[in-house]
């Protein structure tokens, strides 16, 4: 059994994600104008769509990378491995917003920064290890927190606490 580095669980609802993406948009609006957005797949796709709407940006590209293994059910057991670029983008990122949902260990962020050094890197959530690699973020969470995004969850019945006592 592998030991998970995550001891805290932080579920995020669709409403919270939308509100935080709009808050990020407000900050980014003051820094513009921007040419467009580069969304880091897959986590950056939803925030990028919200930010593109709020900033009235129509030029949207994707940087497709894989760094987490999805072999383990339940999310928190996932392990970060090497960063593999499936699809890159042209240029150095000048005038572009680079959007992701989260910066965690900074491994993906470091690789992306090397590819697009002039892009403005923005995330909704940032953990201490990766925080120095992003330019703008909304919420900091501890390194030992696993963020459960709404696209990774489904609604299920929850047993009332009183019934859980055995």
Neighbours of 9 (CB within 10 A): 11
Q: What is the pLDDT of residues 80-106, one digit of tens each?
A: 668 899 999 999 999 999 999 999 999
How many helical (H) and strand (E) elements, i.e. helices and strands, does the chain have? 4, 8
Active site residue 92: no
List pLDDT tens digits, range 127-136. 999 999 999 9
Number of structural domains the chain divides into? 1
Tell me whether residue 106 is in a domain. yes
pLDDT at 8: 87
Assess if residue 59 is contained within a domain.
yes
Residue 108 belongs to domain with CATH number: 3.40.50.2020
Taking a C-beta distance cutoff of 8 angstroms, is the pair 140, 3 a contact? no
Quick one: pLDDT at residue 161? 82
Catalytic residue among 101, 135, 144, 152: 101
CA distances from 166 to 33, 157, 159, 162 (A): 59, 19, 12, 9
Q: Which domain holds residue 30?
A: 13-69+76-153
> What does residue 59 show for φ and ψ, rounded to 5 degrees?
-90, 110
- What stretch of H or E contains 114? helix 107-115
Q: Does 165 reside within a domain?
A: no
In a domain, 28, yes or no: yes
Catalytic: which of 104, 135, 144, 152? Answer: 104
Kindly compute the dihedral angle of the four CA atoms of residues 97, 103, 106, 111, in this order, to the nearest 10 degrees: -30
Structure tokens at 89: 């983008």
Give average pLDDT by consecutive 10-residue segment, the chain, 166 residues.
74 96 97 97 96 98 83 49 89 97 94 96 97 97 95 86 78
Among this protein's residues, is 100 annotated catalytic?
Answer: yes
Does residue 36 lie in a domain region?
A: yes
Residue 101 appears among annotated catalytic residues: yes
Q: What's residue 154's pLDDT?
A: 86
């Amino acid at each position: 059994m592998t030991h998970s580095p995550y001891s805290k669980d932080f579920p995020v609802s669709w409403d919270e994600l939308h509100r935080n993406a709009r808050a990020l948009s407000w900050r980014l609006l003051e820094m513009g104008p921007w040419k467009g957005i580069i969304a880091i797949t897959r986590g950056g796709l939803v925030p990028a769509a919200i930010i593109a709407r709020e900033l009235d940006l129509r030029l949207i590209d994707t940087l497709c990378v894989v760094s987490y293994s999805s072999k383990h059910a339940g999310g928190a057991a996932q392990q970060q491995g090497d960063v593999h670029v499936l699809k890159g983008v042209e240029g150095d990122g000048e005038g572009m917003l680079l959007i992701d949902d989260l910066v965690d260990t900074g491994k993906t962020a470091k690789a992306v920064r090397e590819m697009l050094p002039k892009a403005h890197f923005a995330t909704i959530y940032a953990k201490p290890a990766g925080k120095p690699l992003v330019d703008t973020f909304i919420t900091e969470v501890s390194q030992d927190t696993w963020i459960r995004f709404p696209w990774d969850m489904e609604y299920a019945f929850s047993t009332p606490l009183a019934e859980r006592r055995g």
